Amino acid sequence: MSEEFFWWTDSQKAIYKDVRQFVEENLEEAEEYFWNTKFPWPLVKKVAKKGYFGVGVPKEYGGLELGATGSCIVAAQLGRLYAVGHVFTVSMLAGLEQLLRFGTDEQKKVWLPKIAEGEELGALCITEPFAGSDAANVFTSAIKEGDEWVLNGKKRFITGAGVSDRYFIYAKTSDDKALRKQYGHITAFMVEKGRPGFSLEKINPLIGFDNVPNGYIDFDHVRIPDFNRIGAVGNGWNVMMAGLNFERLIGAAVFSGLVEDVINLLFHFTKRRVQFRRTINQFPGIQEKIAEIIAKAKVCTLYSYHCAKLIDDGGEPMVEASIAKMINTEYARDIALKAIQILGGDGLTKFLPAERILREAKIGEIVAGTTEVQKMIIYRFCAMLPSYNKPMRMRWNDEVNAPIISRKESQFKGLDVTEENVLKVISHDYKINPGLYMTPDDVREDIGGSRSELRKIFEQLEEQKLIVIHRDRSGKTALVKATYEGLQKSFPKEYYQWFPAWYENADKF
């Protein structure tokens, strides 16, 4: 994310300049760890010394208090330092938002300064053998024994496994079926490395995240004090959700600095590569691809900071965080593919960063909720929003002889609510929306009457096969539509006919 935005505070603008310079100074060192596939501990310590791990931590706990916007700024730049970006984001995600919203004062005093210092890394542990996209299906159990909790189970795909000291985990604290239905069976805990029974099981060989360990951890009768429980017992789902908006946003932001480097590389490369006696930047196809890359990068940047601002203003932008996550990762994959195409064979080598972005972007499309899951969230939440559910009733307009969106009352309003008139309302709707059903409330809006009165009439009309009722899963009448017989009974054929003015009478039959 290479642009400053006018709504950033002076401190956010200042950290942007500061972290950019830090990254420029350390790019070469990061490259060396990447090539040697070594975890970049010395570089991580330098990041900690700069105080960047505390970017989102309040000042009273030793942080910089620059919010989600500041966290995005730092993540975007540190993403250019290979493994460092991922370790940085995950370490913040392992408790920051969750503690800020659900931690007690004592818990904040213990862990927030640790997050801010960055001396210890953190890992976020949701995923398990049984729980992937269905994150509520955790089997790792926490059973209370006196003042302690005893943990048993496994977590997998944990970024920073092994190198982290703090593990923010979600465990099942109840098997009650009713509680599970309300997501009340999960509780959040902080587990420190070194507790007896807590071990590292496996490190995954992955398509990307080259020098970041990602693996499985095992809890075998691990005892932790009740102090390590974050939020109320059974409130883990809310704790997880609070952290997830932030996680999706920051996890997405980490790509944008990399993309900026690729755009730089593309200008550099295409001005120096000659084919058919021309530098390849003169080919319209190359220019078009670079233009598309820039446009996508800018859309991602703008959208991410819009989402960050919503979080900083105290919002819960679930839809926006999902969109940010989805477009940042999808676009990053597309940008990487286009960049490789522009770079030709060189783009496929590890000597240039395009292939790495492709591998990381693919991971991005799966971690922290797959793209499919983001789409599910976007759809489900938007389907409930009043702004997308405004009435769009169409009424027949005799003057223009067509159905148009109208706020006028229905021509049937005021008629007696009888079988005959209700059928007329439903049949008339065929003239306007031949393929659609009406909701019971649509019918009620047109003719009036009570819901129960109409329900009885619908059932009577259905019995006579004059309408079809579409029922929801619970058996309730959800939609109604006139049958052929119903249409015939209500109006003569001519009522439904419609021809454009140019159509010859002679051709009608």
Ligand X SMILES: Cc1cc2nc3c(=O)[nH]c(=O)nc-3n(C[C@H](O)[C@H](O)[C@H](O)COP(=O)(O)OP(=O)(O)OC[C@H]3O[C@@H](n4cnc5c(N)ncnc54)[C@H](O)[C@@H]3O)c2cc1C
Query: Which residue lies nearer to ligand X by CB, 189 or 269?
Result: 189
Cα separations in angstroms, 10 against 5, 209, 375: 11, 33, 35
Minimum CB–partner distance for residue 70 and ligand X (Å): 22
With residue 396 as reference, give the H or E element that holds it.
Answer: strand 394-397
Question: Helix, strand, or coil here: 159?
Answer: strand
Query: Which residue lies nearer to ligand X by CB, 75 or 482?
Result: 75
- Are 59 and 65 in contact, with CB atoms under 8 Å apart? yes
Interhelix angle 451-463/419-432, rounded to 10 degrees, is 80
Minimum CB–partner distance for residue 102 and ligand X (Å): 18
Q: How far is CA 28 from the centre of its chain?
A: 33
Q: Which residue is nearest to ligand X (CB)?
A: 132
Question: CA geometry: angle at 155 spanning 183 and 228, to 5°?
Answer: 70
Q: Which of 186, 155, 156, 157 is nearest to 170 (CA)?
A: 186
Query: Which residue lies nearer to ligand X by CB, 129 or 434?
Result: 129
Minimum CB–partner distance for residue 310 and ligand X (Å): 23
Query: Which residue lies nearer to ligand X by CB, 77 or 91?
Result: 91
With residue 67 as reference, give the H or E element that holds it.
Answer: helix 67-78
Which one of the listed residues 97, 247, 360, 365 is annotated catalytic? 247
Minimum CB–partner distance for residue 137 and ligand X (Å): 10
Minimum CB–partner distance for residue 230 and ligand X (Å): 15
Distance CA 315, CA 207 (A): 35
Minimum CB–partner distance for residue 198 and ligand X (Å): 16
- Are 162 and 230 in contact, with CB atoms under 8 Å apart? no
304: amino acid identity, one letter? S
Query: Which residue lies nearer to ligand X by CB, 185 or 325?
Result: 325
Cα separations in angstroms, 36 against 29, 42, 161, 354: 11, 14, 19, 19
Query: Which residue lies nearer to ligand X by CB, 26 or 159?
Result: 159
Query: Which residue lies nearer to ligand X by CB, 159 or 410?
Result: 159
Minimum CB–partner distance for residue 172 and ligand X (Å): 15
Cα separations in angstroms, 487 against 253, 465, 466, 493: 57, 11, 8, 8
Is 247 annotated as catalytic? yes
Complete DSSP assignment for 465-492: TSEEEEE-TTS-EEEEEE-HHHHHHHS-
Query: Which residue lies nearer to ligand X by CB, 363 or 422?
Result: 363
Minimum CB–partner distance for residue 222 and ligand X (Å): 17
337: amino acid identity, one letter? L
- b/e per residue 223-249 (b: at least 16 CB within 10 A): ebeeebbbbebbbbbbbbebbbbbbbb
Phi, psi of 448 (to 5 degrees): 90, -160
- Say if strands 186-192 and 229-230 run parallel, antiparallel, or are unpaired: antiparallel
Binding site for ligand X (CB under 6 A): 90, 124-127, 132-133, 157-159, 206, 209, 214, 363, 366-370, 372-373, 376
- Are 396 and 449 in contact, with CB atoms under 8 Å apart? no
Active site positions, annotated? 247
